[in-house]
Amino acid sequence: MIKKIIRRAQVSTAHLPDTLPETIKQIYASRGMQSAQELELNVARLQGMSADTALMGMDKACQLLHQALLNKTRIIIVGDFDADGATSTALMMTALNLFGSNHHDFIVPNRFEYGYGLTPEIVDLAAQQQAQMLITVDNGISCIAGVKRAKDLGMQVIVTDHHLPGHSLPNADAIVNPNQVGCNFPSKALAGVGVAFYLMLALRKYCREHNFFTEQGIAEPNIAQLLDLVALGTVADVVSLDANNRILVAQGLKRIRAGQTRPGIQALIEIANKNQQRLVASDFGFALGPRINAAGRLDDMSYGINCLLANDLSSARVMAAELDDLNKTRREIEQGMQQEAERVLTSLNFDEEHLPSAISLFQADWHQGVIGIVAGRLKEKFHRPCIVFAKAKVEDNDSEHAEIKGSARSIPGLHIRDLLEHIDSQNPDLIIKFGGHAMAAGLSIKEKNFTLFQQKFDELAEKWLKPEDLESIILSDGELSANMLTLEFAEQLREAGPWGQSFPEPLFDDTFTLIQQRIVGEKHLKIVVEKDSAQGKQVFDGIAFNVDVKAWPNTQVKQVHLAYRLDVNEFRGKRTVQLMIADIRTV
């Protein structure tokens, strides 16, 4: 799909410090930064932000956990099978150790057997492990049946989650979720791991006030040592990097760069060939997170959690290598599925100029663990909300009763969970269950109802979306002069982060003279471009990933217009400026 490049409007930067370069001030201001205080990404400011308004349900959760620690209660943590769930689980496991517990363990649902969250079947598994208390992380807010089962078996249940609640809440002993009605916590964008982190901060304060550490003869834990997990899970879950989350991520990055991280994260950094001292937030999303996610997508998320919990670097490296192999397999499966999906669209006479308002696809042999990624890829390519379905159980051939599971990804302008809720309210028997966020959701339907759902999904999306919502737009921060295309400025941009969802990394656009071009790695375009400057002509390297190899290289092209990010390329100890190309077109 041809994308429209629009430059951000210039806004006032008078409220930001004059010590910053004007370009960076403009970047900050255009992303809604309101004051110089927001530049202070330190722990003291984080504590100040969270002190005024506690998370709803926190006092009750702390009371229950304090008593559980005193009573040596058998605690089972129930996580989710993605990077947020894995980091949340690892954080809770590690933190409870710091509080002196040795009566806790974790369960992560296998998506192919039990589905998402605290289901009655997972509760029964926990019961087999003599669970007396269940703590959900990154799930639970919609698990009404599972919580009921746990309560029927005499267990206490603490739900920690960040997903949007439905009309009814589970009958848990305590619920900690910034998005529940009545919670005045300032950051609604916390990831599941962020909620777990705040619970551990509050538990330390509660235990301190009740002389727990003195009476138990243990040192008061340093909860800041968990921030590496918080940073990884927050970015990998693609939640908005609001002021609160930016501090969490910045502090986690700071600890990792300083070598204050757990062996599992260090091993993941190594296997991804990243420089630990120069790690940036995007490395969590594009390098570390996918390797952890691969375990939950293809096999068992326990692999990912156990890597994060590894006590030594040697064992962590073995597990990181296994995760890397799983991730390579995931990529192969994903590429095949995406190609098949695009062929299906072609067979339906859809092309980039004639697309429905929403895309929903199902194929019986697609892999359930990868449908979310494929939905995301199709959403990016066609700029349409997209749901990809796979069979809930591969061996189930009873089409009358068989279920299929869908993973949805949306575009700005369409709240995908609200849309599913509306379909459900108008067609009560169509959707079996659903949940999620504005931009991502999951659902289950009967296989026989797919065509009807496809129709309802497209009709409602067309009704809710405005024509301008369906235009694919690249927001640019404008043109950079050649004297700013330097290693020094690229470093300044890198350190001006962390960048991420809702606080996007700076992107610039300009016209360059094309000097060299070649394909590398089958479908990546490596180019050399030239730009005039006061010092004469300057030459820069650039790379565009996943280009149309039918269109590139093109020896007839002399001028190109690029939308790009300014990056630092490290190769054999040498550091140079590189243009990371988001869009390339001929002039």
pLDDT, one tens digit per residue, over 334-390 is 999 999 998 988 887 776 667 889 999 999 999 999 999 999 999 998 999 999 999
pLDDT score at 52 = 44
Q: pLDDT band for 53, please (50, 70, 90 cuts).
A: low
- CA–CA distance from 26 to each of 17, 474, 565, 574 (Å)? 11, 17, 16, 30
pLDDT exceeds 90 at position 509: yes
Which is higher by pLDDT, 503 or 116? 503
> What is the average per-residue pLDDT within 101-116?
84
pLDDT tens, position by position, 129-186:
999 999 999 999 999 999 999 999 999 999 999 998 988 999 999 999 999 999 999 8
The residue written with tokens 């996610």 in the block is: 293
> What is the average per-residue pLDDT within 451-464?
96
The secondary structure of 219-274 as a DSSP string is PPP-GGGGHHHHHHHHHHTT----HHHHHHHHHHHHHHHTT-S-HHHHHHHHHTT-
Buried b (16+ CB within 10 A) or exposed e, 261-271: bbbbbbbbbbb
Residue type, 146: G
pLDDT tens, position by position, 416-433:
999 999 999 999 999 998
Stretch among 41-55, 102-116, 152-166, 486-500 having the lowest mean pLDDT:
41-55
pLDDT more than 90, % of the chain: 81
Which stretches of 21-137 are DSSP H helices?
A: 22-30, 43-51, 58-71, 83-98, 120-128
- Other Cβ atoms within 10 Å of 397 Cβ, number: 10
Q: Where in the chain is the domain with CATH 3.90.1640.30?
A: 46-324
Strand-by-strand arrangement of the 156-160 sheet: 104-107, 75-78, 133-137, 156-160, 174-176
Residue type, 549: V
Q: pLDDT band for 483, please (50, 70, 90 cuts).
A: confident
pLDDT score at 398 = 66
Rounded CA-CA distance 465/462 in Å is: 5
pLDDT score at 352 = 64
CATH of 46-324, one of 2.70.98.10, 3.90.1640.30, 3.40.50.2300, 3.40.50.1980: 3.90.1640.30
pLDDT score at 571 = 81
Rounded CA-CA distance 245/425 in Å is: 34
Buried b (16+ CB within 10 A) or exposed e, 510-540: bebebeebeeeeeebbebebebeeeeeebeb
Polymer length of the chain: 587
pLDDT score at 323 = 96
pLDDT exceeds 70 at position 409: yes
pLDDT exceeds 50 at position 118: yes
Sign of CA dihedral 466, 470, 476, 478: negative
Rounded CA-CA distance 481/540 in Å is: 13
pLDDT exceeds 80 at position 394: no
Sign of CA dihedral 72, 74, 80, 82: positive
CATH number of the domain located at residue range(s) 348-470 in this protein: 3.10.310.30
CATH number of the domain located at residue range(s) 476-586 in this protein: 2.40.50.460
pLDDT score at 50 = 60
pLDDT exceeds 70 at position 538: yes
pLDDT score at 48 = 61
pLDDT score at 113 = 74
Name the average pLDDT for the chain. 93
Rounded CA-CA distance 70/68 in Å is: 5
pLDDT more than 70, % of the chain: 96
Sequence-distant (≥ 6) Cβ neighbours of residue 379 within 8 angstroms: 359, 385, 386, 409, 410, 411
> What is the average per-residue pLDDT within 456-481?
94
pLDDT score at 49 = 61
Cβ pair 240, 190 in contact under 8 A? no
Rounded CA-CA distance 304/90 in Å is: 9
Rounded CA-CA distance 354/362 in Å is: 20
Q: Where in the chain is the domain with CATH 3.10.310.30?
A: 348-470
